[in-house]
Amino acid sequence: MSVVAISETLGSLGAQVGLELAHATSLEFYDREILSKAAEEYNQGVTALGHVTEERPTFWE
């Protein structure tokens, strides 16, 4: 499975670049919306789920 992560800062058009890249390479595009839906489904806050997806697990995790 191929994964491309694009960091977005103000004015960088990261989401637009990601959409264009996904279209050009026939990859799927996911954004924070999917994280929000997952948080709702598992009764978790987006912040808690964001921690899991954006940070390395600690030794004990």
Q: Supply the pLDDT for residue 10.
A: 81
Which one, of 42, 22, 24, lies nearest residue 53 by Cα?
42
Task: Quickly count: other Cβ atoms within 10 Å of residue 20's Cβ.
Answer: 12
Nearest in space to 45 (alpha carbons), one of 35, 32, 54, 53: 35
Does residue 1 contact residue 8 with C-beta atoms inside 8 Å?
no
- Predicted confidence pLDDT, tens digits, the chain (61 residues): 677 778 778 888 888 898 999 999 988 888 778 778 888 888 888 777 766 666 676 777 6
For the chain, which residues make up each domain, given as ranges?
1-30, 31-61
Separation between Cα atoms, residue 37 and residue 60, nearest integer Å: 27
Contacts of 19 (CB under 8 A, 6+ apart): 29
